[in-house]
Amino acid sequence: MARRTKEEAQETRGKILESALDIFCEKNFSNVSMTDIAESIGLTKGAVYWHFKSKNDILLQLIEEMCRQTERDFIDIYGTPESLEGLRLYYKSAIAHLSQDERYLKIHKLMFRRHEWPDDVQRRVSELVKKLIEREQMMLEMLIAKEQSEGKIRKDVSPAVASTVIGTVFRGICLLQLSELLDEDFADHIDFLLDAFVGELKKGI
């Protein structure tokens, strides 16, 4: 019985977060109330407060879960790249996935409205996103350093600089994809860019 109660609580919490995501995407944050969120899924305001302290708390936990889920999804689906060729598949698959996932599109729409959020919430969200980017950069830097130690990348390349450039370019592409400014099949056409990166890393070897 206790396990079932815990499962039901988690299910309710998830429904609150999804409801809030939809509402935050459609309404100015300052105009959203806990009552709006509760009524959208047939709960009392008190039930929502049992799970979350405030709408700021809901927003922060929504973004925190998004960051964790993004990492889990990409690692579970695409694995952690262990070579430059693996990195090619990782980015191509990730970019293709973004254009097909409705929840990622909603989260991105929400992030575009962050100017509506209180300053302390904006700061906390910026910290969360920064940490997510730093973990991705570390993954790239370790991969490039490994390939360099195996003689597959020229020695004068800085793994830190290369990982920053590659990560920045592909995050930009991901943002454009989420903004629906690129064709859905854009992932099929990025080999040219990847070939340029790989060619530069291997130049002279």
What is the fold of 55-202? Tetracycline Repressor; domain 2 (1.10.357)
Per-residue pLDDT of the chain (205 residues; tens, 9 = 90+): 455 588 888 899 999 999 999 999 999 999 999 999 999 999 999 999 999 999 999 999 998 888 777 767 666 655 678 888 888 888 888 787 777 778 878 888 888 888 999 999 999 989 988 988 898 899 899 999 999 999 999 999 999 999 999 999 998 988 888 887 888 778 788 888 889 988 898 887 7
Q: Can you give the pLDDT at residue 17? A: 94
Tell how far CA 113 is from the center of its chain: 16
**Secondary structure in 3-state letters for the chain:** CHHHHHHHHHHHHHHHHHHHHHHHHHCCHHHCCHHHHHHHCCCCHHHHHHHCCCHHHHHHHHHHHHHHHHHHHHHHHHCCCCCHHHHHHHHHHHHHHHCCCHHHHHHHHHHCCHHHCCHHHHHHHHHHHHHHHHHHHHHHHHHHHHHHHCCCCCCCCCHHHHHHHHHHHHHHHHHHHHCCCCCCCHHHHCHHHHHHHHHHHHCCC
What is the fold of 1-52? Arc Repressor Mutant, subunit A (1.10.10)
Provide the residue count of the chain: 205
Q: Can you give the pLDDT at residue 4? A: 56
Q: Can you give the pLDDT at residue 1? A: 44
Domain with CATH 1.10.10.60 in the chain: 1-52
Q: What is the pTM of this model?
A: 0.79
Domain with CATH 1.10.357.10 in the chain: 55-202
